[in-house]
Amino acid sequence: MSQYKTVPFYNDWLNIDGMTAGNGIDHTMNLDVDFFEKLTPFNDAKLKQWRIEAAQRCAETLGPFPALCFSGGVDSQAMLHCWAEADLEAHVIIFTFKDGLNKQDCEHAKQYCQKFDIPYREVEFDIVSFLTRDNADMTTKYGNISPHFNTHYRFIEILTHMGYTGVCFGGQAPDRNCGEYGVNTSKVPYYWATCAEKFDIAVQGSFLSFSPELAWAISVSTPDVEVIGHNNRESTALRDWENEQKAIAKKYDAKLIGYRRVGFDLVPQPQKYTGFELVKDYFAEKTGDGWAFETQFRLPLTRMNGGIYNKDQHIYKINLSASQVRAIDSIYLKHFPPSD
């Protein structure tokens, strides 16, 4: 076991013990009203300090040979920006699926690195072989019912064998949707904390967790596009695909605004990618079934061993006090005054 360890949140500013235990108790935030009163007004020097601190604090947990998993998305672009601004060394890793099955992600990730002169290392990964042979075994080992997460867990194992002492992913800031904060804090990216002890190296699911100031600065700088029902726990097969894509596009555009407002240089993707679009297309073409990926690689995981890995159906969010909400709203509504 590594001497370096996963730290879900710097100084425990967000308590996610309920999710870790799977008991349905929402997160609580250990930040008082005074924290938010001191957060603003934003200025370039303050924002730069928070960006650098997020990278420095995270890097301290990763050991002498850290790896940054880079997908090319907004969050991982922000991660690389902070590392460069803090003048920290790390290997940028881009996992490329065999036969180009995530080329939309990889090409964009490489485009970003080339624009900002960031060295990177490509690691080829046979996603089809993994899904058909090892996906279920990863659920048994780590307890997750997502083929996406299972793939990332295998990435961690590969990086461990390559000699890295820690790995970090982009993460996300607390979301504001339909006037409610933190509804996106369910299990992405914080699910890493539920199985951290099973990894042999430190794994940080969100570098933003190391700066509550930066995380909340992004949150209150991101417009609430009020996407009702987006990212709910309904079966994928029951959701309206076209409306889901529109919701994803609206959230992505809003996210770009928030990150840019706090000083991040971004290279937007043509659309929001999950990294698995072409993988799903591959199995759809192979079987003639548009839902083949879900029926072959996700649904069986929910039923394994009588569904023991699928018991916790709670949608975790941040349980804010009334005073915390008022303090956050006082900042957000200055940035985005009500139109009526």
Provide the residue ranges of all domains of the chain, joining segments of one domain with +.
Answer: 10-335
- Model pLDDT, residue 340: 54
Token pair in block for residue 246: 């529109």
For residue 316, count CB atoms less than 10 angstroms from its CB and return exposed for 0-12, middle for 13-18, buried for 19 or more. buried
Buried b (16+ CB within 10 A) or exposed e, 131-152: beeebbebbeebbbbbbebbbb
DSSP state for residue 122 in the 8-state scheme: E
Query: Which pTM value belongs to this model?
Result: 0.92
Token pair 């690389």 is found at 80
Whether 217 and 54 have beta carbons less than 8 Å apart is answered as no
> What is the C-alpha end-to-end distance of the chain, expressed in Å?
57
Cβ pair 33, 327 in contact under 8 A: yes
Question: pLDDT tens per residue, the chain (340 residues)?
Answer: 556 777 778 889 999 888 888 888 999 999 999 999 999 999 999 999 999 999 999 999 999 999 999 999 999 999 999 999 999 999 999 999 999 999 999 999 999 999 999 999 999 999 999 999 999 999 999 998 999 999 999 999 999 999 999 999 988 888 888 888 887 765 555 677 778 889 999 999 889 999 999 999 999 999 998 776 544 444 444 456 677 778 888 889 999 999 999 999 999 988 777 779 999 999 999 999 999 999 999 999 999 999 999 888 888 889 999 999 999 999 999 988 886 5
Q: What is the pLDDT of residue 3?
A: 66
Domain 10-335 in CATH 1.25.10: no
pLDDT of residue 21: 85
H-helix or E-strand containing 84?
Answer: helix 74-85
Q: Which of these, 156, 186, 194, lies nearest to 309 by C-alpha position? A: 194
Q: What is the pLDDT of residue 190?
A: 64
Q: How is the chain split among helix, strand and coil, in percent rounded to 5?
A: 50, 10, 40
pLDDT of residue 257: 95
Closest by CA position to 4, among listed 50, 52, 66, 46:
66
- Can you tell me the distance from the alpha carbon of 39 to that of 251, in angstroms, rounded to the nearest whole number? 24
